[in-house]
Structures are given as structure tokens and as C-alpha cells.
A and B are shown apart, each in its own frame.
Chain A
Amino acid sequence: MTPLRFEQTYQDEWTELEASLGRVLGRKAGWSAPRSSVSGVRVAALYRRACENLALAQARCYPAYMVDRLERLTSDGHQVIYQRRIFGIARLKAIVAVDFPSAVRTHASYVAVAAAVFVLPAVVIGLLVYSRPELILSVVSSDTAASFEEMYSTSATSIGRTRTAATDWMMFGFYIRNNVSVAFQCFAGGLFAGLGTLFFLAYNGAVSGAVAGYLTERGLSPTFYSFIATHSAFELTAIVLSGTAGLRIGHALVAPGRLTRLQSLVLAARDSAVLLYGVTAMLLVAAAVEAFWSSAAWLPKAAKYASAVVCWTAVLGYFAFQGRRAR
């Protein structure tokens, strides 16, 4: 069979498949014609035929334009037929209700390590700074220390705020961005054999501990702790879980077991993706709480501590019990 004869025989099918795929992929004329007019059975049959034609065209060294057209056709068909539709409400519900909390439980040992690496430096440095406040200067600069002190001073009209409204909101935005970046860095650091994750966790733990110790020593603990208590339930856990994902990746690289390091990395990244969904959502919640609840000075401290207890219980309970299989 000559190339032209081959093309004449099958090109009607190719054109039909091109039109159908174009409609599904929303290309060009696709807007006018509804997707429902495409028959799945017909597309599948045409796709298999196009694959067959491509193999023949390649084996028979047919002209480049023909092979090219068939490659394009099969590539589009492959995308349409095999793509996984995993968007949508049902998927979201499954992640929130089952996948995320059970992924956290699956990675319990990583969670424990990440939490320890974050909390231990925080406690140790916090106690050190509390006993010798001048040590704060070896962790943050004197300007930062002063601005923290001003933010939480009892005389300020609202907590976490300095005098001018503009700088105050800027600080707020800055901290949200900062916290999110910290969380994502803890994850990304996993690519360096987990060392980056360990470093970012320990470093941020140390800074948080130092600031807490310093402000406590200055007698600002009532404003400071009532400010952070509620949103820290989401923020600190999100950072620890982000570190968990990072450690999972780092461990996969260091000890790939019977896989190659590359396979092991890809598998670990796929596993930890659901953790990242959860971390992102928790950081958004933390930001909202920080903006509208924690920084409101008119709320009584008791209300804030009560909400903190509720939130911490809810978050920990969610990870401990949500999504377990019913017996």
C-alpha cells in the first residue's frame, strides 16, 4: 500500500477522531458543539485504529507529516482516554474525611520525629532565654526583639499591633507569608536527604522558643499566649506535618530499600501529596484565625483560651480518630 492510498483509506476516521478529541479538549470549534455529542465507544474504537495506523506508518517509513499527524492524534487520544478525573467535591470530601488524617497516622513515626525536632529546640532555647534574656540577641536582631516586645506590650490598643495601622497590617501579612514559606521550606528541604527539613524545623523551633521565652521573661505572657494559643493549633501542626512530608521524602532518598532512589523518591512524593493538601488548608485556616480572632483585642482572654482548648482538642482528635474504618 502506498502512503497516499493509506492516507485516503483512513483519513476520514482520523478527521472524525480529531474533531471528537478537539471537542473534548475544548479546542477551536469545540465551544459551539457540546461535549455530550461525543460517543465514548466510537472515540475508543477510532483511537485504537489510529494507534494501529501509527504503528504501520512508522514501520513502513511513511512520510513525516503523516506520522506526525498520527502521533498528535494518538497523543491527544491517550490524554483524553487515560486521564484521571480526580477533581471535584467527592474527592475533596474523601481527602478531608479519610485520606488526610489516615495519611498522618500512617506516617506517625515521621510525625513524632518532626514534632520532636521542632519542639525540643523551642523548649530548650525558650528556657535558656527565659533565664538569661540577653541570649535573645544571639537568635534574632535587637530591632526584631524590640518590635516583638512592642507588638505584645499590654499598653497597645490591640494585640499584635503597633501604633500605625498600615505597618500593623503589613506585619500581619508578613507573618502569614512567612509562616507559609517556613512550612513549605520544611517540606522542600526533604529533597536534601531530609537535612534541610531537620534544619528548618529546628531553626524555626529555636526562634519561636526564644521569642516566647523572651516575652515571658518581660512579663508579656498574658497578651502573647492568648494571641498565639488558638491559631497555633493549626499553624504549628501544619509546620510539623510539612516537616513530616519532608522527612518522608528524605528517608526515601537515604534508605530506598529495594527500589532505586529515583523510584523511591517518586513514590514518597506521591504519598506525601495528600499531607501537602492538608497542610495548605490548615495554613489558610490558621491565617484566617490569626486575622479575625487572635488579633481582636476586645475579646476577653478567657474566650481565647477556651477557643484554644477547643481547637487543639479538635485538631488532635481529628488526626487521632477521623477516618478510621468503622468496625
Chain B
Amino acid sequence: MPTDVLDTVVSAETPEGILLKLRPAGLSARFYALGLDWAIRLMIMYVAAMAAAFMAGIGIAFLFILFFALEWFYPVAFELTASGATPGKRVFGLKVVMDNGLPVTPAASLTRNLLRAADFLPFGYGFAIVSMLLRRDFKRLGDIAAATIVVYEPPAASRIDLGSIAPVVPVRTLAPQDQAAVVALAARAPRLTADRLDELAALAATVSGDAGHSGPEVTRRVLGVAQWALGRRS
């Protein structure tokens, strides 16, 4: 399929024989998420430092232990929650899963986060950036070793709302792919301008016997064919 060439979707096969689609998240989304996570961490450190200032001595020791815990285990702790994402990742709709689509395991989470030390080299996440740019699934070194992948939690596709358009019986037999194309056009209709919708509908006008014509009336009839393909008969 031509979509394979353009799309970055990774498939994971389940024991039931269906393919789960994983949509790997790229450099920019993950960069923003990392930045947000660091901002959150800095805020925690700032508040803790203010509290520690009142305790002197032992407070400063605990402060350093907190810094160390935040530095290394902040991502691990959040990735092992039900959401599988740090707060920064959650804001940008990302989460960490195993290669097979399952929730990330404690071992994998620890591995991928400790290997940040390697990803960070030579400076500023240099190896991580190179690795992510070279790979179709945008894994950094830690992801490769831990067999994890950072994916998008995609927003739900909207339902098709054709309102009161009357079904139109197609003038020729439509293959499943043709029906799907017409239905997909109907799904996109609310998000297109009227002119663009007319243009696109004109391309599909052969299904309603209006080849060579265009205009709102043709569009209405093409969408009527979509109604028919969806299963509405009257």
C-alpha cells in the first residue's frame, strides 16, 4: 500500500491475530514534553529548596537526595502509573508502551530511563536526537534497548453526521474500496469548505451518474450515495 511509504504507523500483532496500530511520537512533541517535565521538576526543587532553607543542615542533605530522586526516578514513577506517561508527556498526548503495545514494565522503564545517561551524550541529548531522526519509529537509544516506544494517544475519529440528506442508489456497482472512499468523503464533509467539498464531490460524481458535472446539487447526490453505502435506504 502506498500509505506504508508515508505513514510512520508501527503495527503490533496480538495473539488474536489483529494488528494494533502504534503511532510513534517524533522529536518535537517529545522535546516539548521533556521541557515541560523539567519545568515541573524545577518547580518542585524550588519549593523544596525554600522549605529546606528553614531546616539548614539535615534539610540540605534531604534536598540533595530529592534532587537525585527527581533526576533519575521521576520518569520511572510516572511511567508505571496507569497513564504510562509523565505529566509533560500527558499534556502532549504521549505515552510510553512496550513494542507489543502492552503497558511498560518496571524493568523496561528503569532501563530506558537510566540509559538517558547515554542518550544525553555528547551533550544536549545528542545521541538521542540522532537516533530519533534516523529511525522510522523515533526511538532513542534507551527505547531501543528497553524495547519501548513513545506513542501518541490519538483523539477519537468523529462520527459521520449527514443529517437529512436523502439516500441515493448508486448508478453502478461499487467495490468496497469505492464505498469506503465515498463514506470517507462524507466523514470529512463538515470540516471542508463548501467549494472544496463540491470540487471533491465532482471527482466522485460517477457514482451518482453525474459525471462531468459539479455544484451543490451533485455534492448532495454524492453524499446521498454515502448514506446509501452506510446502509440507509429511505
Contacts and interface: CB of A to CB of B under 8 A. Distances in A.
Q: Classify chain B's interface size.
A: 35 or more
Contacts of B116: 188
A172 to B, nearest CB: 6
A113 to B, nearest CB: 19
A51 B18 contact: yes
B158 to A, nearest CB: 6
Interface string B52-67: 0000111011011101
B101 A79 contact: yes
Given A68-B156, A79-B102, A277-B110, A166 B57 contact: yes
Given A63-B187, A65-B159, A177 B144 contact: no
- Which of B110, B114, B146, B147: most chain A Cβ within 10 A? B114
B145 A266 contact: yes
Nearest to A82: B102
A60 B56 contact: no
Given A51-B14, A63-B184, A173 B107 contact: no
Interface in B183-204: 183-184, 187
A176 B64 contact: yes
Contact of B18 (A69, A74, A268): A74
A74 B108 CA distance: 23
A174 interface: yes
Contact of B183 (A3, A180, A191): A3
Given A170-B60, A270-B107, A276-B111, 5 more contacts: A2-B230, A26-B82, A190-B118, A272-B111, A276-B107
Interface in A72-115: 72, 74-75, 78-79, 82-84, 86-87
Q: Classify chain A's interface size.
A: 35 or more
A100 B232 CA distance: 63
A247 interface: no
Nearest to A192: B118
Contacts of B159: 65
Interface in A45-74: 47-48, 51, 54-55, 60-65, 68-69, 71-72, 74
Contact of B230 (A4, A176, A196): A4
Interface string B23-65: 0000000000000000000000000000000001110110111
